Amino acid sequence: MGNTVSEAQKNTVHNFVQQNETNNNNVPKNPHNFNTAGMNPPPECPMHVKVEEKKPTASGCAVAGSVDDINPLNMMPPPNQKPAPDQPFLLPTEREVSTIPKAEGDGQFWVYPSAQMFWNAMLRKGWRWKDDDLSPKDMDAIIKIHNVNNELAWQEVLKWEAFHGNECMNPKLKSFGGKAKDYSPRARIRNWMGYELPFDRHDWIVDRCGRDVRYIIDYYSTDNLPNKYQVAALDVRPALDSLDAVWDRTRASYWRWRYEAEMERNIANKIEEIRKAEKV
């Protein structure tokens, strides 16, 4: 009994061994087939596309907003679907429903921002469209990348949540917020070792059937790829603010080490078999 490994445990281990081989081709697009045109869905989620940070100016700020207008679930002001005063072209206002379940608020799933909302959000962060000369096609690519990044992040969260499948089979995203310059200790240590800092960071609060669990998501640039707009490289893990999180990360590290070492042994044995066969 003590040495028996359940199928769920095997799946969890497999998930962590393959964690760095995320394939965005498996991410479904609008799987619920909802028509979001004309809806009044939840506020926009934050962007995860690398945009050069600039100081906001009076003409570049599409929405002023007050502190009282901020939604505590995503730390964003109310959705703005109106074109900016100097916007060079019209943008779609339709929104796509994600596969990420909501813990609170209206609707079962989080809803992604429209291209128009995304444009206004970038202006709010100090971005100047004239500096980048974006086209409608570019905005469409940015929106798709933003949505895929979020779907991939949620899939990574679910891999960690698989450790707790016996206690909660249906975790949900409760809230999130951006901390772009609040680098995590892990990110700083990687930077000291010569790696780049993440261009963005977000903390997600996941509702594990009544228990709040915080996840840290670091977004790393993939500028080495030829396309200008790329899906970010994600580093998703539970924050080390509970003993359960420490234990989860310890287990994940152990299983990665064990299976990577086993894989190296199998490769070495296979090479040795080939060499012996060649001598015969």
The answer to whether position 43 is within a domain reads yes
Read off the pLDDT of residues 30-79 as tens digits, 9 standing for 90 and up: 444 443 343 333 344 444 445 444 443 333 322 333 444 555 655 556 67
> Do 36 and 153 fall into the same domain?
yes
172-178 and 109-111 beta bridge pairing = unpaired
The answer to whether position 45 is within a domain reads yes
Looking at residue 136, its pLDDT comes to 86
278 lies in which domain range? 246-280
Query: Residue 120: is it exposed, middle or buried by C-beta count within 10 angstroms (0-12/13-18/19+)?
Result: buried
- Cβ atoms of 70 and 110 within 8 Å: the answer is no
> Do 235 and 261 fall into the same domain?
no
> Do 145 and 251 fall into the same domain?
no
Total count of domains within the chain: 2
Task: Characterize 239-262 residue by residue with b for buried, 16 or more Cβ atoms within 10 angstroms of its Cβ, and e for exposed.
Answer: eeeeeebeebbeebeebbeeeeee
List the end-to-end C-alpha distance of the chain, in Å, as a whole number: 44
> Do 152 and 254 fall into the same domain?
no
The answer to whether position 9 is within a domain reads no
Q: What is the dihedral of CA 216, 183, 42, 80, to 10 degrees?
A: -160
> Do 202 and 224 fall into the same domain?
yes
Distance separating alpha carbons of residues 99 and 54, to the nearest angstrom: 32
> Do 199 and 234 fall into the same domain?
yes
The answer to whether position 47 is within a domain reads yes
Distance separating alpha carbons of residues 161 and 138, to the nearest angstrom: 35
Distance separating alpha carbons of residues 132 and 114, to the nearest angstrom: 20
Mean pLDDT, the chain, rounded, equals: 74
Looking at residue 124, its pLDDT comes to 82
Judged against a pLDDT cut of 60, whether residue 26 lies above it is answered with no
Distance separating alpha carbons of residues 209 and 171, to the nearest angstrom: 6
The answer to whether position 213 is within a domain reads yes
Read off the pLDDT of residues 232-256 as tens digits, 9 standing for 90 and up: 889 999 999 999 999 999 998 888 8
Query: Residue 216: is it exposed, middle or buried by C-beta count within 10 angstroms (0-12/13-18/19+)?
Result: buried
The answer to whether position 119 is within a domain reads yes
The answer to whether position 17 is within a domain reads no
Tell me the range of 22-36, 45-59, 265-279 where mean pLDDT is highest: 265-279
DSSP 107-124: SSEEEPPPHHHHHHHHHH
Distance separating alpha carbons of residues 180 and 259, to the nearest angstrom: 34
The answer to whether position 61 is within a domain reads yes
> Do 58 and 167 fall into the same domain?
yes
Read off the pLDDT of residues 160-216 as tens digits, 9 standing for 90 and up: 999 999 999 999 999 988 887 889 999 999 999 998 999 889 999 999 999 999 999
Distance separating alpha carbons of residues 270 and 280, to the nearest angstrom: 16
pTM listed for this prediction: 0.67
> Do 48 and 141 fall into the same domain?
yes
Give the helix/strand (H/E) hosting 212.
strand 212-220
